[in-house]
Amino acid sequence: MTKRVVMVAAVARNRVIGNGPDIPWRIPGEQAEFKRLTTGHVLVMGRATYESIGRPLPGRTTIVLTRDPSWSPSRLAGSHLRTGADGVLVAHSLTDALAQAALLPGDVIVAGGAQVYAEAIGLASEQVISEVPLEPEGDAFYPEIDPAVWEEVGREPFDGYERVTWLRRERLAG
Ligand SMILES: NC(=O)c1ccc[n+]([C@@H]2O[C@H](COP(=O)([O-])OP(=O)(O)OC[C@H]3O[C@@H](n4cnc5c(N)ncnc54)[C@H](OP(=O)(O)O)[C@@H]3O)[C@@H](O)[C@H]2O)c1
């Protein structure tokens, strides 16, 4: 069976997702929801996002994308290299990351940042977007969601944001 590849992001009205290494807002509860949605699954994220978090997220395997053949998570102060539930693996292309994820239990969660979202939107099956009603300054953006390709299938209010679920239309048809 083909794995679900789900993009999970918090996106402002102006499509900003980040400013430098940071996310330019703080919404109590949103991170807990991210944890609830992603625990038991495989996170795929860019090296910049991984380094801004600075550690593996518990209960999830993280696959870090980098083009640097010498990069290792153990290079970060205080981090540890483990495989398993909260382990960190390294991939050198999105295809490589998906091939590694295929061997692990759970869905593939594309967790950013901007570079990785821009590439993965072409092959993801689903997007779960926290729509944040702010227009902050930023330098990292979420790609446009083309309504010819994606259908909004759910919208739920949360405290301080709305969670919108999009499915790829060809997936709906199949
Ligand atoms: N709001 C949200 O939900 C959310 C979520 C995540 C991140 N963010 C924000 O997004 C920003 C970071 O985004 P970003 O675009 O600067 O960085 P990023 O996508 O996290 O990481 C970019 C790095 O990933 C590696 N990479 C990307 N595509 C690759 C590929 N196809 N093959 C191999 N390696 C690849 C490269 O690493 P090397 O340079 O090592 O080769 C590249 O420099 C931050 O502001 C962060 O806070 C926001």
d(CA 2, CA 77): 36
Say how far apart CA 16 and CA 115 lie, in whole Å: 13
Domain assignment of residue 27, yes or no:
yes
pLDDT of residue 84: 39
pLDDT at 74: 78
Has residue 3 been placed in a domain?
no
pLDDT tens, residue by residue, 132-164: 999 999 999 999 999 999 999 999 999 999 999
* Residue from 11, 19, 43 nearest 120 by CA: 43
Least confident of 28-32, 57-61, 80-84, 167-171: 80-84
Q: pLDDT (tens digit, 9 = 90+) per residue, 39-98?
A: 999 999 999 999 999 889 999 999 999 999 999 887 665 544 444 335 899 999 999 999
Q: pLDDT tens, 119-129?
A: 999 999 999 99
Q: What residue numbers bound the domain in which 25 lies? A: 10-173
Q: What is the per-residue pLDDT for 18?
A: 98
In the chain, the number of structural domains is 1
pLDDT of residue 73: 86
pLDDT of the residue at 81: 45
Any idea what the CATH number is for the domain that residue 122 is in?
3.40.430.10
Relative to the CA of 19, which ligand 1 atom is closest? 45
Minimum CA distance residue for ligand 1 atom 46:
18
- Any domain includes 4: no
**Model confidence, pTM:** 0.94
Pocket of ligand 1 (CB under 6 A): 9-10, 17-19, 21-23, 45-49, 52, 65-68, 71, 92-94, 111-116, 119, 140
